[in-house]
């Protein structure tokens, strides 16, 4: 266990913890007293049929959804819906390498899969709130992986699904991209096979990791058009130091690696013996597949290929010059598109 | 100086050396007894008006052109043209960090710019062969940078130009991509600020550098479609180990860094006070701008934006699922496209 002030309510706002007890992972290890950090917005009605689940992406927490996606002016409207944002295992707020004691601490934290998260989330919603049906499951990037997993694993519980900027089955290119991110961290001599005394010992690796994100996370056009300038930076490097490096350098390296391993292996076809068409054919949720137009590593065509396998689904491309990290919602025309698509989806009978 | 058997005729076939004498670089340093390695194909006619110059890309040498691009069955036909392939400074065959002795050895090798290469190449062609006019200048990637530099710097000498998969002014995205490549190498503790005893000391950094090339050098579709399989590999990692790692691990780290610095700063608008339109407006060569359709870091739109600034030019997109490293010519439908475009260009009056 390592004290890390970043993973606290000061940085992320208040949240609750749900204890899963001893949670057995797909890979055959038991996380003792496994906890999910979550936060809710709005009120669950008596029929318990107004719930929305939001899942989190790599390095993300509920905070970005609270700040950018959820509010009375958004489709994710807490005046109408009971919105639960559940932090993925390994993200630093839920059970993660850095906050675990005992045999699974630090780099001994076992491998976690998308399916583990989704099973844990289902248990939380059922046991804590009695929720048996979700009006919508949505999330971006790794959150899209969880969204797909929900729709395939628990089709009877998911009325609508909106995977944003992510895939049901991770692609080979995504795997090697993530591997480059991993190696940027693990190659830092300060990483010491995961037994660093402080995340600061791995700062250079975290910076390299951030810089590879700069290459793939934003589009060529974002950089050409100086898309960082409206965000209040004076140069490309100013943006990288002040935004990208700063964003990642406070995080725990083992936590990032836990998520990276999980991301690399997200694949709903594990539920159907490797048959992706059969897996996505199970989906009964009304589904909008929402890739980002300039995404460098979840390109529209990869998302569209999966969309065609989901019965009754629609492809809703989100235009964003930023690319994948447009997910942060800093472009003025980004959230209006998200709200329009999610709003239309929520109005669709399901 | 470091002995490196990779940089030898055994690996690259025979080549000649041209001595530039003491060559003063744009950055204000003097490379003593600077040498360009070059090779020729075909015969220079008496009028000396059948010469073609081919320039080299990052990590590349004349070898790939000899093996894939030049021959009686290609547009670059040595039965018709006198074809000179000149290795760029820093590529390991021409003067480079690893083969330099004295104060500029190893990591003290001075910064070289695209303009330095082009001035050196012009001198070689003029002094060694009396060539004052070129039927065509062409090259891919950094070779495209040199091609543009030729057409802007010596418009009266270049009748036709074909920059393939590269730009006249490097983009911000390319800069940060290249920076990630650089940092993969320099972060290796074995790099020792460039004073390694052997390139093998930097092998892990070179492997990480190769893996970042895997992410950006090939398209998402190449990986999805297992484009490596026809090349005789059994898995993605087999391809990365056997092709990408193997390709780069024999190279000299300082040599790669010399080229990377140069690549980052390629910009013909340095000749016109920063005005790219004015620089490309100087071009009198008949120019085909030839981006690769799936290029992740020299995307078609960046190349097209420059093409529109070149008087009388045409955009000729080369379709390649491989992406940027389609330049290696391993796709069956790649060279026929190159030959068609270059063939038509060479038949165009200029």
H-run or E-run covering A200: none
Interface contact A179-B211, CB threshold 8 A: yes
Interface contact A173-B215, CB threshold 8 A: yes
Strand order in the sheet with B16-24: B16-24, B30-41, B82-86, B51-55, B136-140, B160-164, B286-289, B314-315
Q: How far is CA B254 from CA B104, B249, B259, B261, B268, in A?
A: 12, 12, 9, 11, 25
**What are B212's two structure tokens?**
């970042």
Every domain of chain A and the residues it spans: 9-170+266-347
Cα-Cα-Cα-Cα dihedral sign, residues B157, B160, B165, B171: positive
**What are A212's two structure tokens?**
């590879």
Spell out the residues 6+ positions from residue B120 whose beta carbon is closer than 8 angstroms to its own: B20, B23, B34, B36, B89
Which of A136, A152, A151, A167 has the alpha carbon at shortest distance from A344? A136
Interface contact A176-B236, CB threshold 8 A: yes
Task: Choose the closest CB to A176 out of B184, B211, B297.
Answer: B211
CA distance B327 to chain A (A): 19
**What are B24's two structure tokens?**
């003063």
Contacts with B181 from chain A: Cβ below 8 Å: none
Cα-Cα-Cα-Cα dihedral sign, residues B224, B230, B231, B237: positive
For residues A87 and B125, give the distance between their C-alpha atoms in angstroms, rounded to a whole number.
64
Among chain A residues, the shortest Cα distance to B226 is held by A172
ipTM of the complex: 0.93
A202 alpha carbon, distance to own chain's centre: 23
| Residue located via tokens 């690549």 | B263
CB B329 within 8 A of CB B140: no
Would an 8 Å CB–CB cutoff place B187 in contact with chain A? yes
pLDDT score of A58:
98
Cα-Cα-Cα-Cα dihedral sign, residues B272, B274, B278, B283: positive
For residues B282 and A177, give the distance between their C-alpha atoms in angstroms, rounded to a whole number.
40
In A78-172, beta strands by DSSP E = 82-86, 136-140, 160-164
In tens, the pLDDT along A44-69 reads 999 999 999 999 999 999 999 999 99
Interface contact A211-B299, CB threshold 8 A: no
- What phi and psi, each to the nearest 5 degrees, are found at residue A26? -55, -35
Interface contact A208-B183, CB threshold 8 A: yes
Interface contact B220-A176, CB threshold 8 A: no
Would an 8 Å CB–CB cutoff place A189 in contact with chain B? yes
- What phi and psi, each to the nearest 5 degrees, are found at residue A332? -55, -30
Catalytic center residues of A: 141, 295, 324
Spell out the residues 6+ positions from residue B246 whose beta carbon is closer than 8 angstroms to its own: none
Contacts with A189 from chain B: Cβ below 8 Å: 189
DSSP H helix total and E strand total for chain A? 13, 8
Best mutation site among A169, A174, A176 for testing chain B: the one with the most B CBs within 10 Å? Answer: A176
In B62-141, which ranges are continuous DSSP H helix? Answer: 62-64, 114-129
Interface contact B221-A301, CB threshold 8 A: yes
User: Which residues in B92-108 are b (16+ Cβ under 10 Å) and which e?
Assistant: bbbbbbbbbeeebbbbe
Residue A261 CA neighbour count, 13 Å, CB half:
19
Would an 8 Å CB–CB cutoff place B188 in contact with chain A? yes
Would an 8 Å CB–CB cutoff place B177 in contact with chain A? yes
Among chain A residues, the shortest Cα distance to B218 is held by A173
Interhelix angle A172-186/B203-217, rounded to 10 degrees, is: 150
In tens, the pLDDT along A250-267 reads 999 999 999 999 999 999
Strand partners, A23: A31
**What are A152's two structure tokens?**
């395939």
- Residues 89-148, chain B, touching A (beta carbon < 8 A): none
Contacts with A171 from chain B: Cβ below 8 Å: 220, 223-224
For residues B61 and A101, give the distance between their C-alpha atoms in angstroms, rounded to a whole number.
54
Strand partners, A314: A288
CB B330 within 8 A of CB B65: no
CA distance A173 to chain B (A): 5
Say which of B141, B214, B219, B320 is annotated catalytic.
B141
CA distance A30 to chain B (A): 31
Q: What is the mean pLDDT of residues A224-235?
A: 96
Which of B244, B212, B228, B208 has the alpha carbon at shortest distance from B322? B228
Among chain A residues, the shortest Cα distance to B183 is held by A208
For residues B340 and A178, give the distance between their C-alpha atoms in angstroms, rounded to a whole number.
38
Among chain B residues, the shortest Cα distance to A214 is held by B176
Strand partners, B39: B85
Interface contact A220-B297, CB threshold 8 A: yes
CB B91 within 8 A of CB B6: no
Task: Choose the closest CB to A176 out of B172, B187, B214.
Answer: B214
CA distance A108 to chain B (A): 24
Q: What would the DSSP string read from start to end of A149-193?
A: HHHHH-GGGBSEEEEES--SB--HHHHHHHHHHHHHHHTSGGGGG
- Residues 203-242, chain A, touching B (beta carbon < 8 A): 204-205, 208, 211-212, 214-216, 218-224, 226, 236, 240
For residues B182 and B256, give the distance between their C-alpha atoms in angstroms, rounded to a whole number.
8
User: Which residues in B142-173 are b (16+ Cβ under 10 Å) and which e?
Assistant: bbbbbbbbbbbbbeebbbbbbbbbbbbbbbbb
Q: How far is CA A28 from CA A264, A333, B33, in A?
A: 18, 44, 65
In B133-219, which ranges are continuous DSSP H helix? Answer: 142-153, 172-186, 203-217
Interface contact A176-B216, CB threshold 8 A: no
- Of the pLDDT bands very low, low, confident and very high (cuts 50, 70, 90), residue A325 is very high
CB B55 within 8 A of CB B137: yes
Interface contact B176-A216, CB threshold 8 A: no
CA distance B89 to chain A (A): 27
Percent of chain A with pLDDT over 90: 99
Q: 3-class DSSP state for residue B38? A: strand
Determine the CATH number of domain A9-170+266-347. 3.40.50.1820
Planar angle of CA A98, A137, A340, nearest 5 degrees? 120
For residues A23 and A1, give the distance between their C-alpha atoms in angstroms, rounded to a whole number.
19
Planar angle of CA A307, A311, A312, nearest 5 degrees? 90
Tens of each residue's pLDDT in chain B, 350 residues? 899 999 999 999 999 999 999 999 999 999 999 999 999 999 999 999 999 999 999 999 999 999 999 999 999 999 999 999 999 999 999 999 999 999 999 999 999 999 999 999 999 999 999 999 999 999 999 999 999 999 999 999 999 999 999 999 999 999 999 999 999 999 999 999 999 999 999 999 999 999 999 999 999 999 999 999 999 999 999 999 999 999 999 999 999 999 999 999 999 999 999 999 999 999 999 999 999 999 999 999 999 999 999 999 999 999 999 999 999 999 999 999 999 999 999 999 98
Best mutation site among A180, A191, A241, A300 for testing chain B: the one with the most B CBs within 10 Å? Answer: A180
For residues B297 and B294, give the distance between their C-alpha atoms in angstroms, rounded to a whole number.
9
Neighbours of A24 (CB within 10 A): 14
Would an 8 Å CB–CB cutoff place A173 in contact with chain B? yes
Task: Choose the closest CB to B180 out of A172, A211, A224.
Answer: A211
**What are B3's two structure tokens?**
């002995």
- What phi and psi, each to the nearest 5 degrees, are found at residue B185? -80, -50
Task: Choose the closest CB to A224 out of B172, B208, B223.
Answer: B172
pLDDT score of A184:
98
In tens, the pLDDT along A145-162 reads 999 999 999 999 999 999
Interface contact B177-A221, CB threshold 8 A: no
Determine the CATH number of domain B9-171+266-347. 3.40.50.1820
Which of B181, B296, B187, B241 has the alpha carbon at shortest distance from A212? B181
pLDDT score of B3:
92
CA distance B2 to chain A (A): 25
pLDDT score of B305:
98
Active site residue B141: yes
DSSP H helix total and E strand total for chain B? 13, 8
Q: Are strands A136-140 and A160-164 parallel, antiparallel or unpaired?
A: parallel
Q: Looking at the predicted structure, is the pLDDT value of residue A216 above 90?
A: yes
pLDDT score of B38:
98
Contacts with B218 from chain A: Cβ below 8 Å: 173
pLDDT score of B350:
85
């Amino acid at each position: 266990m390592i004290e890390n002030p970043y993973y606290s309510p000061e940085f992320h706002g208040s949240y609750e913890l749900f204890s899963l007890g001893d949670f057995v992972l797909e890979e055959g290890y038991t996380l003792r007293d496994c906890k999910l950090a979550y936060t809710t917005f709005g009120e669950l009605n008596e029929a318990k049929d107004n719930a929305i689940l939001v899942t989190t992406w790599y390095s993300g927490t509920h905070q970005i959804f609270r700040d950018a996606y959820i509010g009375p002016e958004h489709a994710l409207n807490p005046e109408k819906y009971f919105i639960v944002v559940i932090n993925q295992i390994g993200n630093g707020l839920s059970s993660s390498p850095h906050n675990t004691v005992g045999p699974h601490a630090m780099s001994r934290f076992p491998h976690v899969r998308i399916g583990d998260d989704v099973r844990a989330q289902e248990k939380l919603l059922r046991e804590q709130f009695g929720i048996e049906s979700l009006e919508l499951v949505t999330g971006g990037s790794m959150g899209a992986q969880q969204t797909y997993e929900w729709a395939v694993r628990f089709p009877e519980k998911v009325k609508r699904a909106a995977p944003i900027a992510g895939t049901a089955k991770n692609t080979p290119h995504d795997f090697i991209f993530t591997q480059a991110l991993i190696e940027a961290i693990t190659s830092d001599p300060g990483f010491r096979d995961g037994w660093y005394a402080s995340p600061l010992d791995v700062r250079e690796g975290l910076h390299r990791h951030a810089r590879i994100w700069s290459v793939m996370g934003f589009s060529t056009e974002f950089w050409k058009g100086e898309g960082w300038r409206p965000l209040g930076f004076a140069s490309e490097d100013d943006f990288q130091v002040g935004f990208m490096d700063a964003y990642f350098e406070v995080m725990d390296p083992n936590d990032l690696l836990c998520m990276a391993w999980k991301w690399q292996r997200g694949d709903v076809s594990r539920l159907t013996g490797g048959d992706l068409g059969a897996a996505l054919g199970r989906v009964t949720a009304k589904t909008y597949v929402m890739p980002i137009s300039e995404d460098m590593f979840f390109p529209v065509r990869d998302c569209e290929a999966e969309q065609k396998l989901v019965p009754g689904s629609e492809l809703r491309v989100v235009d964003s010059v930023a690319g994948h990290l447009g997910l942060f919602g800093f472009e003025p025309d980004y959230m209006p598109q998200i709200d329009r698509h999610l709003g239309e989806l929520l109005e669709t009978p399901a």
